[in-house]
Amino acid sequence: MKLKWTDSLDIALELLEAYPEVEPEAVRFTDLFNWIMALDAFDDDPRHCNERILEAVQKCWIEEK
């Protein structure tokens, strides 16, 4: 399954696995964007991302951690 920007929880789970040592509340959105784009399971247009999407992913990541 390929992840899209709308898959906030699934992206957060992938990030949790890829970066277990990171405190998600301290991650800058520029880093978050780059880390999401680098996920093997992620496949979506970078132009479809916005601050609201990144906030949703970060919120899910914080909740899951």
pLDDT tens-place values along the chain, 65 residues long = 899 999 999 999 999 999 999 999 999 999 999 999 999 999 999 999 999 999 999 999 999 99
- Within a domain: 35: yes
User: What is the tally of structural domains in the chain?
Assistant: 1
- Within a domain: 42: yes
C-alpha distances in Å from residue 8, one per residue of 16, 18: 12, 15
Q: Which domain holds residue 30?
A: 8-64
Measured distance CA(7)–CA(2) in Å, rounded: 10
- Within a domain: 37: yes
Say if CB 8 and CB 55 are below 8 A apart.
no
Is residue 54 packed enough to be buried (19+ CB in 10 Å), middle (13-18) or exposed (0-12)?
buried
- Within a domain: 2: no
> Rounded to two decimals, what is the model's pTM?
0.96
CATH of the domain at 20: 1.10.10.600
- Within a domain: 1: no
- Within a domain: 3: no
Residue with the two structure tokens 């609201």: 52
- Within a domain: 15: yes
